[in-house]
Structure 1
């Protein structure tokens, strides 16, 4: 299937590329994944946009729920914003707090919490980020209500969950624990994800799906772990660290080579739509309570 899709886009008249020399240095899948994300509109320091359409300014207070390694929090710090960050893992919050303290003198708060509820005041944030968290939640509706409660009127939200195609594909190779609590217990169709956001009272401003690179990267990770006789019990992406399995490095090198081809970006965008890793919604809390939950905005 993928070869047929590539053949559709790749010009038949192009000469066969010369064989690549044997690599001298290893290729980091995380670095290639970061470059792939930047092509999708992430991490624009020049415009202050964490994702295109989601700008963070110095007068913002960003709440990062399920902060993980703190990518969103640290981006907001670089824009001069105040930050509040939470995670259920104590070590992640402590490590991120050290990094934040080293980079800013503005107010910040790190909390170890499962987010139900969060010990924060109503309307404490002007920007709310919750990425790759909702799929871990047994009851996502009250969790979304908490997110909405903590955004001030007019607050903007950046939300993401895994896309269903990539999740179903991984079910054939990932360990069973990857789809058990506290890992992925929800699979959101695009329709269900949008309904969750809108029924909570938010208005959707933008949607996108991307990350084919990471769907295949995770499959190669699971395959490598299985071949080595290891089972990480549902490892998540931020636990994939160097030294990387050779199969993952080979895939990262292939993707890197593809992206520099004349039609590389077009092929990437096609594959991102065909099999995305994540689906993203940017939404906004209305300035007034006149907007009633349940009204769908197309």
Structure 2
């Protein structure tokens, strides 16, 4: 839901899931479709796994009730003025007993970004609210979800965004921003133990995103287990 450039969709496809990458941006979806095709050609996805793109509105998704076993909504709700309607749609298209993962920017890193740069949150399509985890979970629970575990992620990305906000969000060539971007690319590609360990230590403090796991209650007698910490 709100697949953007497709990072989560690609990984799910690579792991053998049947994937629908959903977004309203035609340009992003065209690039995602091209990557899906390249992955099939290169044999990067297991035989039998399927991947497709669908354009639409998160407030009125073109899917039947209970279509999906799993839904990922990563860094999308903070862009949507009517977030409770998008959450209701997420709930509707998930099957009973299905699991969802919802991520939004963490309160503290996001609050500092807003303080450092007006452009960060006033540009077209930008962030329209800052969530506390309690607020996010309350809205998800009100929609009917069972709230499961949570964690924070991407702590190493937080200083990058603070830098961008401090020097100008469009100033990609600033030496500090460019250098830190190279560090992040190196970390993503190489995943060295030192940066992975550092990020794990920093995530609870300055993780850029908070991730909440949810379950849509199963129908009576379905036999589905509750959403535990090991899910």
Shift of 1:185: 0.4
Please name the residue that 2:216 is paired with. Answer: 285
Counting only pairs closer than 5 Å after superposition, residues 208-219 of structure 1 correspond to structure 2 as: 208-219=151-162
| Preserved CA contact (<8 Å) 2:66 2:94 | yes
The farther-off stretch of 245-254 and 139-148 is 245-254
Please name the residue that 2:224 is paired with. Answer: none
Shift of 1:71: 1.1
Distance, in Å, in 2 between the alignment partners of 1:125 and 1:216 is 36
1:138 paired to 2:81: yes
1:75 paired to 2:6: no
| Preserved CA contact (<8 Å) 1:174 1:219 | no
Distance, in Å, in 2 between the alignment partners of 1:268 and 1:109 is 33
Residues 79-137 of structure 1: per-residue CA shift (max 9 Å, x gap): 22211111121111011112213334644331222312011111111110000000011
Please name the residue that 2:30 is paired with. Answer: 94
SS in structure 1 opposite 2:116?
coil
Q: How many residues align?
A: 210
Corresponding residue to 1:247 among 164, 170, 176? 176
Counting only pairs closer than 5 Å after superposition, residues 8-157 of structure 1 correspond to structure 2 as: 65-104=1-40, 106-157=49-100
Distance, in Å, in 2 between the alignment partners of 1:95 and 1:274 is 34
SS in structure 1 opposite 2:91?
helix
Please, which runs of 5 or more residues in structure 2 have no aligned partner? 41-47, 222-227
Corresponding residue to 1:163 among 106, 112, 123? 106
| Preserved CA contact (<8 Å) 2:13 2:50 | no
TM value normalised by structure 1: 0.62
Please name the residue that 1:18 is paired with. Answer: none
Please name the residue that 1:45 is paired with. Answer: none
SS in structure 1 opposite 2:35?
helix
Please, which runs of 5 or more residues in structure 1 have no aligned partner? 1-64, 291-296
Shift of 1:156: 0.9
Distance, in Å, in 2 between the alignment partners of 1:76 and 1:272 is 23
Distance, in Å, in 1 between the alignment partners of 2:199 and 2:33 is 36
Corresponding residue to 1:274 among 205, 220, 227? 205
Please name the residue that 1:53 is paired with. Answer: none
| Preserved CA contact (<8 Å) 2:19 2:52 | yes
| Preserved CA contact (<8 Å) 2:65 2:94 | yes
Please name the residue that 1:62 is paired with. Answer: none
Q: Structure 1 pair 89/284, CA: closer, same or farther in 2 (3 Å)?
A: same
| Preserved CA contact (<8 Å) 1:136 1:181 | no
TM value normalised by structure 2: 0.79
* Higher helix residue share: 2
Distance, in Å, in 2 between the alignment partners of 1:164 and 1:128 is 23
1:176 paired to 2:119: yes
Shift of 1:198: 1.4
